[in-house]
Amino acid sequence: MATLNTLQMAKLSPSGSQLSHSNPACSSIDLTGVAGQTTASSRSIANHGQSMISLPDWAFYPLASLIAGGMIAGALSFGDVTHRAPEEIRAEGLAYEGDSLNAITTGNGLTAELLTEGDTTFLRVSAVRGPLDGIQSAGAFFTLSPDELSALEGHRVRFTFRVRQAAPAPADGVRFNFFVPNVGQDSWQRHTVSDEYGEIIFDLSPQSCDWAHGYIGIWPDWDNDRNAVDIARVTLTALEPLEC
């Protein structure tokens, strides 16, 4: 039986109001959770319907990058950290598994729990609405650090998600997206999932070669009783450089 390691998250800004970015082109990234919580923690915060602040594009993305960078730097300052050169990041890629899954952040309408089952640590991600319903966001997402963005930008990339349906509300499918400049809500890719862990692999060729921000987004189906998936591992691998 899975045991709860980290309580589900609902994101609020430091003032308690939800902070979001509104983009007419539907390419917005929600700051709820980025400004309000660093990682999944051992606390549960009520996600109330508060007043929302809308930021223009020119203000939103720099602010999101600064906040995410500060969160990452603060988290890394508490432990032994091995700095990786850009060549190492490109060669080794990024991997979120075990305790590093704790870096997940959730937007409005989603929750994430860090659980263990036997020797496996995984995230249980659930949704109560779709990406275009209400405040738009990157879903449940991992934020790339400035060093990772600098090393990986301008490359074709490959994603691998180890995922299954989550009882007792197993979603039939899950959507993934990689939010970099010029990628918006119309770029979610839906994949079906089963009750056994399996790998979903796909490649992307971002149009932009200058990544001011990067979010790996996850969004399960949101039917009332079939709206959760378990994520055991997420990897991002750099492939060949793109012609920029």
For 29-51, the pLDDT digits (tens) are: 333 333 333 344 333 333 333 33
Section 220-234 average pLDDT? 97
* DSSP label at residue 38: S
Residues 6+ apart with CB under 8 A from 193: 163, 164, 165, 171, 172, 173, 174, 200, 229
| Pairwise pLDDT comparison (65 vs 76), residue with the higher score | 65
Please, what's the b/e burial string for 62-97 (b: 16 or more CB within 10 A of its CB; e: otherwise)? Answer: ebbbebbeebbeeeeeeeeeeeeeeeebbeebbebb
Residue 65: pLDDT band (50, 70, 90) is low
Angle at 138 (CA atoms; ends 95, 93), nearest 5 degrees: 20
Confidence of residue 205 (pLDDT cuts 50, 70, 90): very high
pLDDT of residue 13: 30
Q: Hey, what's the torsion of the CAs at 12, 18, 19, 21, to 10 degrees?
A: 130
Residue 94 has pLDDT above 90, yes or no: yes
Q: What percent of the chain has a predicted confidence (pLDDT) above 90?
A: 64
Q: Is the pLDDT of residue 26 over 60?
A: no
Select the more confidently predicted residue: 67 or 103.
103
**What pLDDT does residue 102 have?**
96
Q: Is the pLDDT of residue 151 over 80?
A: yes
Total domains in the chain come to 1
* 218: β partners: 140, 176
The pLDDT of residue 3 is above 90:
no
Q: Print the domain residue range for 59.
A: 3-241
Amino acid at the residue 99: D
**Separation CA 67–CA 140 (nearest Å):** 17
Mean model confidence pLDDT for the chain: 78
Q: What is the pLDDT of residues 170-182, one digit of tens each?
A: 999 999 999 999 9
Tell me: the pLDDT tens digits for 209-220?
999 999 999 999
b/e sequence 178-192, b meaning 16+ C-beta within 10 Å? bbbbebbbebbeeee
CATH of residue 140: 2.60.120.260
Residue 45: the pLDDT is 32
* pLDDT on residue 63: 55
- Sorted by sequence, the CB contacts under 8 Å of residue 221 that are 6+ apart come out as 127, 171, 172, 173, 174, 227
Mean pLDDT of 37-66: 43
Instruction: Tell whether the model's pLDDT for residue 101 goes beyond 80.
Output: yes
Q: Is the pLDDT of residue 19 over 80?
A: no
